[in-house]
């Protein structure tokens, strides 16, 4: 079926469309209703149905592919590599489920998972799903304050953690951060379950802390059946990346999520049972939830869990895994591609990538030069997809393999089936239907299966934050700014609070960044709007160069700055020209690789940079501070 018809049916004949997709998963009791839209914006999917995410990810595959690979663990940090078949994964998950139950975990309880990228983290997520406990995974790179606020919000019965993670060969102890997080939090879990990797010494608290190896040995052969949950029960909570402020606790259901993922594996990610999927994300992010753990396993695929950097031992490591495990689909982020772009492109050609059908990228705008670089280098289609923690799966992309040749670089594509995506004027609420009209990207309800149910414990915040920002309409705001071209392709221009207003012209930071990054010597750039007495705002650019020798002295830097400005003049017009283009060695980003424009902007305007708990490298912001204050 042509994609346009497929899409139309998903919107115009919603229930029939999703009833079909619901057949992709196994139900213990079939749903009685497809979409309950009686209380917007609290849409309920597949009410009356009973199912289980772990059953769909693991048990369901035992008969057809019990001995095939399910979880492929590769750590270039510790040199460990191990393949778990579906049968082995089934046994491990039951052990973990039995231990969680022995520690008092019951259906509906929260289990906070604060772990490095090790198999036990996946066992813990699936074990929670199995017994109907709600997991709250907290990215392992977060320190005690971020952790404490999430412990307080999730009020877990049990916390699962480990002695340490490892990054670039350096041991990062987790346990002291966890202890501090638990001390700072007013909520205290009943038990802490610890995986001892032997990387760092651990102090344990008697009565509270338990050793995974000891307890799992007691439950080696314990069988724990899947709890049949209501489709609308809660599967997990997960916090947004915190790029724009205080992270929001996204709450997701069971049945809708399972169906959405199963459908996306088929229609978007080209996943076939028995094939291998490789997502380079972290289980602490939504991509890790949907496309390291649940999506590939639900589809009967093997999934690679990779602990390590993209460039260690060298920049060929990912491609060597593609060759070794015959990866069919791969999912990564533009930020990772930009890291590779600074390395020798020969690594892209060194391995046999013939198994690879496509590389999917999401998380940040994929600028055209980066897309082209990786596309040419690998010789496989590169497919951008736009979504959010809130949605759980793609909102915009090019779905259905056959039409992939129509993908346009710089655009994540067209609305995904199930999503009624519109562009509206942010202050009048008027719908903008013409080509190239800029506005806020919004979603008209009902939101599709898999979409967030609410903000954890805060229905009011859900309605107020997401569904009340556009005057006169109850629509979901993505808080992203975009346009649609005459062919219906969307372009994301930046976040709504990143829009720059220069002398009355509204410009997306993304447009300027895209223009600058087309300069052959620019590896990466961040553009922010800075208050200006004359023009209201001016654009400021901070760029990382590919070849630092071009910055030899102050004169050379000025020359490059001039070139970049001219490039913006030529592509977007003088109005978009940054007031300054400054060169830094690294840009401030969140742990998930997103540019922290709000922090850069604050520093440029001499304000406090605000909540920086999610920043990856604080020295990056210091470089900018030094430049603007000099």
Among 384, 426, 511, 513, binds ligand ATP (CB under 6 A): 384
219 vs 594, beta carbon nearer ligand ATP: 594
Residue span binding ligand ATP (CB under 6 A) among the ranges 79-87, 123-131, 237-245, 273-281: 237-245
Whether the link from the prior residue into 41 is cis, omega within 30° of 0, is yes
| Residues 137/185, Cβ–Cβ less than 8 Å | no
Is there binding between residue 75 and ligand ATP (CB under 6 A)? no
Between CA 449 and CA 585 the distance in angstroms is: 42
List beta partners, residue 529: 539
Segments of 326-438 assigned E as strands:
327-332, 358-361, 382-384, 396-397, 414-415, 420-424
Is there binding between residue 240 and ligand ATP (CB under 6 A)? yes
| Residues 273/324, Cβ–Cβ less than 8 Å | no
Question: What is the separation of C-alpha 544 from the centre of its chain, rounded to a whole number of angstroms?
Answer: 24
Is there binding between residue 65 and ligand ATP (CB under 6 A)? no
197 vs 589, beta carbon nearer ligand ATP: 589
Site for Mg ion in 201-240 (CB under 5 A): 240
Cβ-based burial of 629 (10 A; exposed 0-12, middle 13-18, buried ≥19): exposed
242 interacts with, out of ligand ATP, Mg ion, none, CB within 5 to 8 A per kind = ligand ATP
161 vs 240, beta carbon nearer Mg ion: 240
329 vs 509, beta carbon nearer Mg ion: 509
User: In whole angstroms, how close is the CB of 310 to ligand ATP at the nearest point?
Assistant: 18
Q: Quick one: CA dihedral 11, 12, 13, 17, positive or negative?
A: negative
Is there binding between residue 439 and ligand ATP (CB under 6 A)? no
Instruction: Kindly give the pairing relationship between strand 110-114 and strand 134-137.
Output: parallel
User: In whole angstroms, how close is the CB of 138 to ligand ATP at the nearest point?
Assistant: 14
Cβ-based burial of 518 (10 A; exposed 0-12, middle 13-18, buried ≥19): middle
Within 8 A by CB and 6+ apart from 206, the residues are none
363 vs 369, beta carbon nearer ligand ATP: 363
Between CA 407 and CA 417 the distance in angstroms is: 16
Is there binding between residue 413 and ligand ATP (CB under 6 A)? no
Site for ligand ATP in 553-612 (CB under 6 A): 592, 594
Is there binding between residue 243 and ligand ATP (CB under 6 A)? yes
416 vs 568, beta carbon nearer ligand ATP: 416
480 interacts with, out of Mg ion, ligand ATP, none, CB within 5 to 8 A per kind = ligand ATP
Burial 393-416 (b: 16+ CB within 10 A, else e): bbbbbbbbbeebeebbebbbbbbb
Residue span binding ligand ATP (CB under 6 A) among the ranges 100-108, 383-391, 528-536, 603-611: 383-391
Is there binding between residue 386 and ligand ATP (CB under 6 A)? yes
Is there binding between residue 329 and ligand ATP (CB under 6 A)? no
Is there binding between residue 393 and ligand ATP (CB under 6 A)? no
255 vs 412, beta carbon nearer ligand ATP: 412
User: In whole angstroms, how close is the CB of 589 to Mg ion at the nearest point?
Assistant: 15
Is there binding between residue 244 and ligand ATP (CB under 6 A)? yes
Name the residue whose CB lies closest to Mg ion. 240
Q: Quick one: CA dihedral 582, 586, 592, 596, positive or negative?
A: negative
| Residues 46/31, Cβ–Cβ less than 8 Å | yes
| Residues 493/438, Cβ–Cβ less than 8 Å | yes
156 vs 242, beta carbon nearer ligand ATP: 242
The pattern of x and - marking residues 240 through 259 that bind Mg ion according to CB under 5 A reads x-------------------
31 interacts with, out of ligand ATP, Mg ion, none, CB within 5 to 8 A per kind = none
247 vs 255, beta carbon nearer ligand ATP: 247
Token code pair at residue 46: 């597949």
Between CA 499 and CA 481 the distance in angstroms is: 8
Is there binding between residue 362 and ligand ATP (CB under 6 A)? yes
Residue 516 has φ and ψ, to the nearest 5°, of -65, -40
| Residue 92, CA distances (Å) to 80, 127, 130, 273 in order | 18, 9, 12, 21
| Residues 513/545, Cβ–Cβ less than 8 Å | no
Is there binding between residue 517 and ligand ATP (CB under 6 A)? no
Closest CA to 337 of 252, 409, 250: 409
The pattern of x and - marking residues 487 through 516 that bind ligand ATP according to CB under 6 A reads -----x--x---------------------
User: In whole angstroms, how close is the CB of 513 to ligand ATP at the nearest point?
Assistant: 11
- Per CB under 6 A, residues contacting ligand ATP are 240-245, 247, 362-366, 384-389, 412, 478, 480, 492, 495, 592, 594
Binding residues for Mg ion (CB under 5 A): 240
């Amino acid at each position: 079926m042509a994609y346009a018809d497929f899409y139309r049916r998903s919107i115009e004949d919603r229930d029939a469309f999703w009833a079909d997709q619901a057949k992709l998963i196994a139900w213990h009791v079939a749903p009685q209703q497809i979409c309950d839209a009686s209380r917007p914006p609290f849409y309920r999917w597949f009410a009356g149905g009973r199912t289980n995410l772990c059953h769909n990810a693991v048990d369901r595959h035992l008969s057809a592919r019990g001995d095939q690979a399910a979880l492929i663990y590769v750590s270039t940090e510790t040199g460990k590599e191990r393949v778990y078949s579906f049968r082995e994964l089934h046994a491990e998950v039951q052990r973990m489920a039995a231990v969680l139950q022995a520690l008092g975990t019951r259906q509906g309880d929260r289990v906070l998972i604060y772990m490095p990228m090790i198999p036990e983290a996946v066992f813990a997520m699936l074990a929670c799903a199995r017994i109907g406990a709600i997991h709250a995974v907290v990215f392992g790179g977060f320190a005690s304050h971020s952790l404490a606020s999430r412990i307080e919000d999730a009020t877990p019965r049990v916390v699962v953690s480990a002695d340490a993670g490892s990054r670039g060969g350096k041991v990062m102890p987790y346990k002291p951060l966890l202890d501090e997080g638990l001390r700072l939090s007013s909520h205290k879990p009943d038990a802490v379950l610890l995986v001892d990797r032997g990387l760092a010494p651990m102090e344990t608290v008697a009565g509270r802390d338990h050793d995974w190896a000891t307890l799992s040995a007691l439950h080696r052969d314990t069988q724990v059946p899947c709890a049949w949950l209501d489709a609308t029960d809660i599967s997990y909570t997960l916090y947004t990346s915190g790029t724009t402020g205080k992270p929001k606790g996204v709450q997701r259901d069971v049945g809708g999520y399972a169906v959405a993922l199963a459908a996306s594996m088929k229609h978007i990610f080209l996943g076939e049972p028995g094939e291998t999927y490789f997502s380079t994300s972290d289980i602490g992010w939504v991509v890790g939830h949907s496309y390291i753990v649940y999506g590939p396993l639900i589809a009967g695929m093997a999934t690679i869990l990779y602990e390590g950097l993209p460039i260690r031992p060298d920049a060929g490591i990912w491609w060597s895994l593609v060759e070794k495990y015959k990866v069919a689909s791969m999912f990564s982020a533009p930020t990772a591609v930009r890291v590779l772009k600074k390395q020798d492109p020969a690594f892209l050609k060194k391995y046999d990538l013939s198994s690879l059908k496509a590389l999917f990228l999401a998380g940040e705008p994929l600028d055209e030069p980066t897309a082209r670089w990786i596309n040419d280098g690998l010789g496989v289609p590169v497919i951008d997809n736009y979504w959010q923690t809130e949605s759980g799966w793609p909102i915009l992309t090019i779905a259905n393999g056959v039409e992939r040749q129509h993908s346009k670089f710089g655009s994540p594509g067209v609305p995904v089936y199930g999503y009624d995506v519109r562009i509206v004027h942010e202050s009048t609420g008027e719908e903008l239907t013409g080509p190239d009209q800029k506005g806020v990207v919004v979603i008209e309800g009902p939101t599709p299966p898999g979409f967030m149910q609410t903000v954890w414990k805060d229905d009011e915040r859900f309605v107020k934050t997401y569904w009340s920002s556009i005057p006169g309409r109850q629509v979901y705001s993505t808080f992203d700014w975009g346009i649609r071209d005459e062919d219906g392709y969307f372009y994301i221009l930046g976040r709504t609070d990143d829009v720059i207003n220069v002398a009355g012209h509204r410009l997306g930071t993304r447009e300027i960044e895209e223009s600058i990054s087309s300069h052959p010597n620019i590896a990466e750039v961040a553009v922010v709007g800075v208050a200006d007495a004359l023009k209201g705002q001016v654009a400021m650019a901070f760029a990382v160069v590919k070849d630092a020798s071009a910055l030899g002295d102050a004169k050379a830097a000025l020359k490059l700055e001039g070139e970049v400005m001219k490039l913006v003049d030529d592509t977007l017009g003088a109005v978009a020209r940054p007031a300054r283009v400054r060169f830094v060695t690294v840009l401030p980003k969140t742990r998930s690789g997103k540019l922290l424009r709000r922090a850069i902007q604050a520093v440029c305007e001499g304000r406090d940079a605000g909540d920086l708990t999610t920043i990856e490298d604080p020295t990056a912001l210091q470089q900018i501070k030094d430049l603007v204050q000099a």
